[in-house]
């Protein structure tokens, strides 16, 4: 376990001595800091406290190892600092040592027992202290200086000094070490085979067998899996206390897991989890185990394992792997933002992490791009691409192409263009060059020119030269957006047909511009122009509710009933308050009636009357009355007459109501009702100077009066009818009836005169035939 925060570093080494485990916690900082022991009643160390004059980082959390619990705590006085409290686990002991001074240096070693030091060690053990005795040391009480520093020389894999006098097997061993460190595993294995063939009992046997295992594992070859497991088990049996035991356990566990032998793998995972908790390879085992659990469907546990490693580790490489796996976990779960955050954290903190296995992480980044995340994967590819020593790398061109395309999709046009151009100059594939050339050309559409006029000219150029291509679509949209950003909404609107043809109807920028134009025309009271915009886009416009009310009224006034209906239907369902509901239902009733959808008109009018609070909406009763009449529901309609006469007493709308009532009375020959409704109708016509139902109404009264024998009153009514007779056929009928009534009253001369007027009108009518016959009859009688 390794941590680095501000200047502070701490890490744990572990091992076995005399068949007992031990661990050493190392603490280092740039500045001296104080540590001290706290003893219990038995004079055993119960806690070690180390104080630091620096703020506590939020990521610095409680850590647990096999021997220690490490807890960060803020100072009680709220000063700018914190302490680390280290306590031993159950049945474990510990001891504090100041390791400030390196005796191998040529600096002076001052007196011991300093209260502060830049380096401290805490030994965790079971039973007796390994290697050391527990006797107090009184230190060196005078300054000391070493003029000549002794040289230990080369160390073996166990970190032991190597004797320069040993045979050539030492040279072999050093070569093996070098090959493994460089990742040249095939060379390492070949050298090991040669070395063991010559020196089968070499003193480096333990070390080279360990390095052989590392090399086999590093090759990621399925054919090596059985050899890895066999060698790992044999090595553990031979060297059970070696410092590399956790690493070997990890190699065996993950190899078994790759072989799908999960029960066998779990045994070695559990050994790491139980015996080496907090060790670097235990943390790596947790991550590796989590990957296999995820593949088997146990996802909740996996998330907890990944997060626990990220919170506990102080090793940058382990933290990087945990962060990448967390990002990949959230990617697979569809949480794009959280996924990219973890990936970006790794990229910023440890970009070289991805160089450990370029093919593996290139494949992973391709999955991220398929998921729709481009920016961070492109940056990861850039790190890997820049590590290539020459262009012969197999992944050089594929990675260059993907990197350019991902930067393009992420909107980093400068880098996209740079890598597009690089690909075009280095690729020999004509089809790929053509593909990339098109993509690079498309970057022109993302011109960063600050001058809007030049930008518009550029878009016009692209539109003219890329007809029918994606470039035309993008340029057209950007042109419209530029006009919109400039507040030139009319220019956007004038692009309407082109936008609809190329980009499809109802583009957002067009809707936004037309909405702005509609607002302006409504504010200016220009109802006709507002109706024009509303007629095109109706309820798609982005207006306030009160603006939609105004727009509806303009549409209705200009007889654009279809868009008015769409708005009314949409808004009546969206209304949140009774008042809003009433406003929209009222308008819906009127427009439905105007479009002759009488059942829906009746429904909306009835709902309006139920909510009625505004007297201006009283004429909803008229809509309901007329809609019922149109549907043949006369009885239901007639029940509304009292309400209509009360709320719309002198309204011109009552002309139509009394026309209906008169028509019904005429059909029933109800003379009393005829005279009442006819009078009301004629009075309203005169009041409003609207005579659309004359002389029909007067002739209806004449018919009723004639049945009652009131011929003189009928003649008076006919004189009124004559004033409003505009058609020849109407005049013929009136003159015939006048002649008929004069004859009834015994005035033959007046009768002949009326029939004569009738006869002289140049029009055909059954009434005219009656006039001619009646006149001849009267003339013969004279």
Provide mean pLDDT across the span 693-702: 94
Residue corresponding to tokens 């031993």: 88
- Which one of 390, 412, 446 terminates a domain? 446
When mean pLDDT is compared over 71-85, 468-482, 521-535, the highest value belongs to 521-535
Residue 128's pLDDT is 83
d(CA 305, CA 440): 44
When mean pLDDT is compared over 58-67, 300-309, 511-520, the highest value belongs to 511-520
Residue corresponding to tokens 């960063």: 448
- Which one of 125, 146, 168 terminates a domain? 125
Residue 577's pLDDT is 94
The token pair at 53 is 């004059």
Residue 164's pLDDT is 46
Provide mean pLDDT across the span 224-237: 91
Instruction: Answer yes or no: is 411 within a domain.
Output: yes
pLDDT band at 5 (very low <50, low <70, confident <90, very high): very low
pLDDT at 69 over 70: yes
pLDDT band at 684 (very low <50, low <70, confident <90, very high): very high
* Cross-strand pairs, 630: none
Residue 58's pLDDT is 47
Instruction: Answer yes or no: is 107 within a domain.
Output: yes
| SS3 of residue 10 by DSSP | strand
pLDDT at 582 over 70: yes
pLDDT at 89 over 60: yes
Instruction: Answer yes or no: is 68 within a domain.
Output: yes
> CB neighbours of 613 closer than 8 A, spacing ≥ 6?
578, 579, 582
Provide mean pLDDT across the span 302-319: 90
Residue 714's pLDDT is 93
Range of lowest pLDDT (20-34, 273-287, 436-450): 436-450
Provide mean pLDDT across the span 589-602: 96
Please choose, from the candidates 83, 109, 85, the residue with its C-alpha nearest in 3D space to the C-alpha of residue 96: 85
pLDDT band at 191 (very low <50, low <70, confident <90, very high): very high
d(CA 486, CA 473): 20
pLDDT at 661 over 50: yes
Q: Which ranges in 648-765 belong to alpha helices (H)?
A: 653-668, 671-688, 696-707, 711-723, 728-744, 748-760
pLDDT at 312 over 80: yes
Residue 1's pLDDT is 41
What CATH code is carried by the domain that includes residue 594? Answer: 1.25.40
The token pair at 730 is 């109407």
What CATH code is carried by the domain that includes residue 436? Answer: 1.25.40.10
d(CA 578, CA 32): 74
d(CA 556, CA 467): 41
Main-chain phi, psi angles of 28, to 5 degrees = -135, 145
Please choose, from the candidates 716, 717, 751, 726, the residue with its C-alpha nearest in 3D space to the C-alpha of residue 736: 751
Please choose, from the candidates 137, 95, 100, the residue with its C-alpha nearest in 3D space to the C-alpha of residue 115: 100
Instruction: Answer yes or no: is 295 within a domain.
Output: no
Residue 458's pLDDT is 74
pLDDT at 778 over 90: no
pLDDT band at 134 (very low <50, low <70, confident <90, very high): low
Residue 421's pLDDT is 85
Instruction: Answer yes or no: is 119 within a domain.
Output: yes
- The CA–CA distances, whole Å, from 112 to 317, 628, 662 equal 36, 109, 123
DSSP assignment of 545-562 equals: HHHHHHHHHHHHHTT-HH
Residue 106's pLDDT is 55
Residue span of the structural domain in which 391 resides: 315-446
The token pair at 527 is 């109802």
Residue 511's pLDDT is 94
Tens of pLDDT, residue by residue over 314-352, are 889 999 999 999 999 999 989 989 999 999 999 999 999
When mean pLDDT is compared over 536-540, 637-641, 759-763, the highest value belongs to 637-641
Instruction: Answer yes or no: is 770 within a domain.
Output: no
Residue 667's pLDDT is 93
Residue corresponding to tokens 């990219």: 340
Contact 113, 35 (CB under 8 A): no
pLDDT over 90 percentage in the chain: 59
Beta strands of 91-137 (E only): which ranges?
93-98, 116-125
Is the bond preceding 695 in cis, omega lying within 30 degrees of 0? yes
Instruction: Answer yes or no: is 582 within a domain.
Output: yes
Q: To 5 degrees, how large is the angle CA 379–CA 383–CA 384?
A: 115
Residue 132's pLDDT is 64
Contact 698, 717 (CB under 8 A): yes
Residue 491's pLDDT is 95
- The CA–CA distances, whole Å, from 34 to 29, 120, 270 equal 11, 9, 37
Residue 485's pLDDT is 92
pLDDT at 355 over 60: yes
pLDDT band at 775 (very low <50, low <70, confident <90, very high): confident
Residue 112's pLDDT is 58
What CATH code is carried by the domain that includes residue 46? Answer: 2.60.40
d(CA 445, CA 478): 8
Contact 618, 591 (CB under 8 A): no
Provide mean pLDDT across the span 371-391: 93
Provide mean pLDDT across the span 364-387: 94
Number of separate domains in the chain:
3
Tens of pLDDT, residue by residue over 407-454, are 988 877 678 878 998 999 999 899 999 998 888 876 766 666 677 887
Provide mean pLDDT across the span 121-138: 74
Range of lowest pLDDT (16-30, 239-253, 608-622): 16-30
Residue 130's pLDDT is 75
Provide mean pLDDT across the span 86-94: 91
What is the chain's mean pLDDT, rounded? 87
Residue 633's pLDDT is 94
Tell me how far the alpha carbon of residue 348 is from its chain's centroid: 25
- Which one of 649, 666, 681 terminates a domain? 649
pTM for the model = 0.45
For residues 113 and 475, which has the higher predicted lDDT (pLDDT)?
A: 475
Instruction: Answer yes or no: is 359 within a domain.
Output: yes
Q: Which ranges in 296-447 belong to alpha helices (H)?
A: 299-312, 316-332, 336-349, 358-371, 375-386, 396-410, 413-426, 430-442
Range of lowest pLDDT (169-178, 293-302, 344-353, 609-618): 293-302
pLDDT at 664 over 80: yes
């Amino acid at each position: 376990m390794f941590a680095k925060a501000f200047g502070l570093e701490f890490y744990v080494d572990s091992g076995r001595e005399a068949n007992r485990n031990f661990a050493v916690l190392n603490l280092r900082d740039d500045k001296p800091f104080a540590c001290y022991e706290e003893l219990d009643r038995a004079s055993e160390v119960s806690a070690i406290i180390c104080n630091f004059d620096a703020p506590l980082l939020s990521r610095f959390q409680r850590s647990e190892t096999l021997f220690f619990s490490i807890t960060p705590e803020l100072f009680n006085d709220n000063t700018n600092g914190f302490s680390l409290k280290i306590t031993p686990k159950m049945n474990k002991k510990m001891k504090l040592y100041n390791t400030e001074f390196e005796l191998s240096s040529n600096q002076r070693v001052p007196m011991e027992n300093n209260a502060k030091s830049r380096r401290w060690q805490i030994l965790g053990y079971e039973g007796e202290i390994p290697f050391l005795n527990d006797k107090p040391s009184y230190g060196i009480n005078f300054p000391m200086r070493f003029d000549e520093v002794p040289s230990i020389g080369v160390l073996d894999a166990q970190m032991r000094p190597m004797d320069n006098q040993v045979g050539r097997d030492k040279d072999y061993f050093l070569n093996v070490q070098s090959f493994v460190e460089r990742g040249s595993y095939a060379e390492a294995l070949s050298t090991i085979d040669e070395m063991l063939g010559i020196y089968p009992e070499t003193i480096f046997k333990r070390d080279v067998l360990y390095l052989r295992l590392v090399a086999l594992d590093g090759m990621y070859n399925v054919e090596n899996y059985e050899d890895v497991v066999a060698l790992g088990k044999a090595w553990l049996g031979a060297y059970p206390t070696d410092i590399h035991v956790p690493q070997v356990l990890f190699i065996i566990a993950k190899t078994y897991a790759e072989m799908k032998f999960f029960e066998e793998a779990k045994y070695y995972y559990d050994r790491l989890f139980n015996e080496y908790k907090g060790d670097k390879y235990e943390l790596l085992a947790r991550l590796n185990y989590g990957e296999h659990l995820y593949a088997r469907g146990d996802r909740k546990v996996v998330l907890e394992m990944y997060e626990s490693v990220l919170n506990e580790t102080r090793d940058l490489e382990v933290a990087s792997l945990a962060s990448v796996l967390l990002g990949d976990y959230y990617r697979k779960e569809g949480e794009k933002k959280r996924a990219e955050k973890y990936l970006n954290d790794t990229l910023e903190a440890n970009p070289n992490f991805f160089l450990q296995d370029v093919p593996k992480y290139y494949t992973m980044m391709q999955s991220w791009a398929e998921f729709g995340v481009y920016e961070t994967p492109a940056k990861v590819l850039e790190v890997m691409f820049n590590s290539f020593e020459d262009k012969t790398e197999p992944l050089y061109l594929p990675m260059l192409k993907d990197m350019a395309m991902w930067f393009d999709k992420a909107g980093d046009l400068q880098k996209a263009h740079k890598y597009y151009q690089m690909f075009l100059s280095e690729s020999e594939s004509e089809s790929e060059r053509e593909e990339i050339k098109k993509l690079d050309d498309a970057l022109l559409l993302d011109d960063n020119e600050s001058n809007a006029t030049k930008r518009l000219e550029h878009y016009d150029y692209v539109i003219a030269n890329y007809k029918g291509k994606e470039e035309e679509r993008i340029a057209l949209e950007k042109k419209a957006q530029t006009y919109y950003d400039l507040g030139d909404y009319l220019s956007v609107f004038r692009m309407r047909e082109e936008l609809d043809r190329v980009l499809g109807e109802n583009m957002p920028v067009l809707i936004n511009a037309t909405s702005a134009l509609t607002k302006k025309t409504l504010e200016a009271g220009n109802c006709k122009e507002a109706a024009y915009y509303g007629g095109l886009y109706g309820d798609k416009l982005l207006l306030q509710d009160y603006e939609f009310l105004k727009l509806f009224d303009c549409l209705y006034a200009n007889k654009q009933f279809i868009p008015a209906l769409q708005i009314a239907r949409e808004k009546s369902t969206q209304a949140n308050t009774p008042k809003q509901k009433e406003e929209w239902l009222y308008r819906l009733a009127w427009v439905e009636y105007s479009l002759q959808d009488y059942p829906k008109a009746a429904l909306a009018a009835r709902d309006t009357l139920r909510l009625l609070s505004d007297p201006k909406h009283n004429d909803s009763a008229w809509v309901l009355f007329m809609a019922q009449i149109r549907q043949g529901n006369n009885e239901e309609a007639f029940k509304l007459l009292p309400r209509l006469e009360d709320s719309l007493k002198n309204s011109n709308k009552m002309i139509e109501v009394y026309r209906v009532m008169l028509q019904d009375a005429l059909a029933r020959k109800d003379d009393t009702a005829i005279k009442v409704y006819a009078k009301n109708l004629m009075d309203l016509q005169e009041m409003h100077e609207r005579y659309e139902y004359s002389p029909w109404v007067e002739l209806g009264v004449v018919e009723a009066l004639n049945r009652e024998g009131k011929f003189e009153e009928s003649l008076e009514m006919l004189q009124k009818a004559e004033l409003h007779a505009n058609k020849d056929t109407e005049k013929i009928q009136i003159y015939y009836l006048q002649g008929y009534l004069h004859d009834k009253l015994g005035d033959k001369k007046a009768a002949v005169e009326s029939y004569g007027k009738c006869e002289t009108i140049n029009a055909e009518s059954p009434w005219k035939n009656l006039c001619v016959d009646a006149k001849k009859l009267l003339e013969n009688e004279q």
